[in-house]
Amino acid sequence: MTAMLEYLTKNGFDDKTNLSDTLDKLYDKIKSQGLYCLTGTRNFSGKLALPRKYELSAAINRYRDLKIKKY
C-alpha cells in the first residue's frame, strides 16, 4: 500500500480528476503492467500485495496532511 500511496502523490493526483477515477486509473495500470510498475524496478526487496480499492481509499481518507480543494 505504501508503494501505491507514494506513486499517487508523485503521479496520480491532479486538479481535474476525482478520487474514484484516479484509483480506477491506478488499478488499470497495475492490471496491465503489474505491481512493480509502482516501484520502477523489479529488484524490490520484499513482496508486494494488491490491496482492495476500498482499503486504499480508506488510507487516503485517514491521511492527515491531505489538502482538498473544493470546486
pLDDT given for residue 42 in this prediction? 66
Give residues with Cβ within 8 angstroms of 56, minimum separation 6. Answer: 1, 4, 5, 23
Look up the pTM and report it: 0.80
Question: CA nearest 3: which of 64, 59, 54?
Answer: 59
Given a cut of 90, whether residue 56 has pLDDT beyond it is yes
Name the amino acid, one letter, at 21: D
The three grid cell numbers given for residue 15, joined into one nine-digit string = 486538479
pLDDT digit string, tens, across residues 1-52: 888 988 888 887 887 888 899 999 999 999 999 888 888 776 666 677 899 9
pLDDT for residue 23: 94
In this structure, are residues 16 and 71 in contact, taking their beta carbons and an 8 Å threshold? Answer: no
In total, the chain counts a number of residues equal to 71
Would you state the pLDDT for residue 32? 95
